[in-house]
Amino acid sequence: MEPRPDCGEESYEGHGRLKGKCAVITGADSGIGRAVAIAYAREGADVLISYLSEHEDAEDTATYVEKAGRRAVLVSGDISSPQHCRDIVAKAVEEFGRIDVLVNNAAYQMTRETLEDVPDEEWDHTIATNLSAMFHLCKAALPHMGEGSSIIGSSSVNSDNPNPTLAPYAATKAAIANLTASLAQMLGERGIRVNSVAPGPIWTPLIPSTMEPDKVEQFGSNTPLGRPGQPVELAPVYVLLASDEGSYVSGARVAVTGGRPIL
Which residues face 81 on adjacent strands?
none
DSSP codes of every residue in 182-219: HHHHHHGGGT-EEEEEEE-SB--THHHHHS-HHHHHTT
Alpha-carbon Rg of the chain, whole angstroms? 17
Percent helix / strand / coil, the chain, rounded to 5: 45, 15, 40
Q: Sign (positive/negative) of CA torsion 140, 141, 147, 148?
A: negative
Cβ atoms 117, 94 nearer than 8 A? no
Sheet holding 46-51, edge to edge: 72-76, 46-51, 22-26, 101-104, 150-154, 193-199, 253-256
For residue 139, the number of C-alpha atoms closer than 13 Å in the C-beta half-sphere is 13
The residues that are catalytic are 169
Cα distance between residue 166 and residue 207, in whole Å: 12
Q: CA-to-CA distance for 226 and 243, rounded, in angstroms?
A: 31
First to last CA, the chain: 33
